[in-house]
Structure 1
Amino acid sequence: MKKAVVILSGGLDSTTCMGMAQDAGYDVYPITFDYGQRQRREIENARQVAEFYKTASRHKVIALGFLKEFGGSALTDESIEVPPAGESGAVDSDIPVTYVPGRNLLFLSIATSYAETIGAEAIYIGVNALDYSGYPDCRPEFIRKVEEVMALATRVGVEGGPIRIETPLIHWTKAEIIREGMRLGVPYHLTTSCYNGQEEACGVCDSCRLRLKGFDEAGTADPIAYQ
């Protein structure tokens, strides 16, 4: 059976990718990264999602604590506040303070190593250029360049069978993502999107507001609890 690695954060987008990869006929291998993120709850959510898809036995949780030591992001540095919806928090840049420097580059590099080791032909990642246009590592051109490097830097790439990066959500609105997830029976009740990482989602950060707006436009209620 063909295999795919899914970068699973425990959030709405990556969980939708789990459902889409499975629907596409892949034997799914989820990988989650513990990088000292403020939203610690998402790691447990990822475990629950892996259990839902019966992939818990091969779910990898990789420690990248040095990203918290580096700081530089509201998601890893407690001294930087998560801004409310509509505010980037950035002083001299259009890139929001919730951007984690180099995160997706690191994630894809490690996922590539895992994929090559297990013989997977694809990596699914839930990047979205429409809702998160301020993040440089969510752009289509970034994904294309990483694929080029993967083809050059791996044995399978050199031998003519490069690993693909699948980004099925990259141009979709949140409502479109949710509708597709509902069709596939994606367990949104097991997910979290809140940047603040509390027991109940804050409902006011950008990620929460985008999620709530998406469910509203999709014509259905968000199944998770909010403060």
Structure 2
Amino acid sequence: MENNSSSRPAIILLSGGLDSITVLALAKQQGFTCYALSFDYGQRHNAELEASRRIAKHYQVADHKIINLGLSAIGGSALTDARIDVPTSPQAGIPVTYVPARNTIFLAFALGWAEVVKAHDVFIGVNAVDYSGYPDCRPEFIKAFQDMANLGTKAGVEGHKIQIHTPLIALSKAEIIQQGLALGVDYADTVSCYSADIKGRACGVCDACRLRAAGFQSLGVADPTHYRPK
């Protein structure tokens, strides 16, 4: 791939999971100077933040910020409200693991930091194929946010257009893993599980675990995920 991005800053939304590490690896390969942004939003699977720290250090990002949001104050999701169980089987419609407006909030913070470091590129690992039915992972949402970003920022008004990059949006989980492996990504150091314990060990039965395991299985690649003893 021709590299026309050398030294250009970019904001990378880094959860510590499988998709976000792949996006970071892609952005690095394309020559961007990466600024990683993670969120402590009250999620029950907090071990992913430790994973994000390790990943950011490994990839030698220019800076890594972890923003405290506290979305547990409003709840409404199995990921932020301990009273709502994480489902262990597929659900019809939008599942209870959907966090209200999460990607809107995350992208808004990324947009603000992008203006500060004069970045015109924001990367997010949303996926419209294996995405569990979340409305804020669709191309329509990303386009709408990008349009808003270029209307409501100093950079956009002055002609420095913000681009929201979604390199995984049309890929299956297997295709994402395949791309990451080609880039040398070590998925053993990631946490995707909605109910990971404090050591980052996965439950193996939530939506995130099932999609992840199926991706490795379909490729015939050993699953490096650390699972809790049953």
TM bin, normalised by shorter chain, reads over 0.9
- Look up the match of 1:44: 50
Residue correspondence of structure 1 range 66-215 to structure 2 within 5 A: 67-87=71-91, 94-198=93-197, 199=199, 200-215=201-216
What residue number does 2:4 align with? none
**Counterparts of 1:10-25 in structure 2 under 5 Å?**
10-25=16-31
Q: Is the 8 A contact 1:7 1:30 kept in 2?
A: yes
**What do the CA deviations read for 1:115-156 (whole angstroms, capped 9, x no partner)?**
111011210000001111511100100000000000011111
Residue type of the alignment partner of 2:101: G
Task: Report how far residue 218 of structure 1 moved.
Answer: 1.8
Contact 1:133 1:139 in 2 (8 A): no
Secondary structure, aligned partner of 1:59: strand
SS in 1 for 2:56: helix
Contact in 2 for aligned 1:85/1:209 (Cα 8 Å):
no
Taking structure 2 as the reference length, the TM-score comes to 0.93
Name the CA distance, whole Å, in 2 between partners of 1:43 and 1:104: 17
CA contact (8 A) 1:73 1:100 kept: yes
Which has the larger share of helix? 1
Per the TM alignment, residue 187 of structure 1 is displaced from its structure 2 partner at its CA by 2.2
Q: Using the alignment, how far apart are the partners of 1:206 and 1:138 within structure 2? A: 15
Deviation at 1:111, TM superposition (A): 0.2
C-alpha distance in 2 between matches for 1:112 and 1:187: 28
Are the aligned partners of 1:49 and 1:187 in contact in 2 as well (CA < 8 Å)? no
Shift of 1:85: 3.1
Q: Following the alignment from structure 2 to structure 1, what is the Cα–Cα distance between the partners of residues 181 and 157?
A: 39
Amino acid at match of 1:212: A
- The equivalent of 1:62 in structure 2 is 67
* Cα 1:42/1:133, change in 2 over 3 Å: closer
- Return the offset for 1:38: 0.6
Partner of residue 91, structure 1:
none
Work out the number of aligned pairs and report it. Answer: 220
Deviates more, 1:173-182 or 1:195-204: 195-204
- Residues in 2 aligned to 1:12 and 1:207: alpha-carbon distance in whole angstroms: 10
Question: Are 2:35 and 1:29 equivalent residues in the alignment?
Answer: yes
SS at match of 2:36: strand
Q: Which runs of 4+ in 1 moved over 6 A?
A: none
CA shift digits 1:174-207 (9 cap, x unpaired): 0000000000011211101100021310101010
Partner SS for 1:214: helix
TM-score using structure 1 length = 0.95
Q: Which residue number in structure 1 is paired with residue 226 of structure 2?
A: 225
Per-residue CA shift, 1:47-73, capped at 9, x if unaligned?
000011012x610000001x1010000
Secondary structure of the residue aligned to 2:83 is: coil
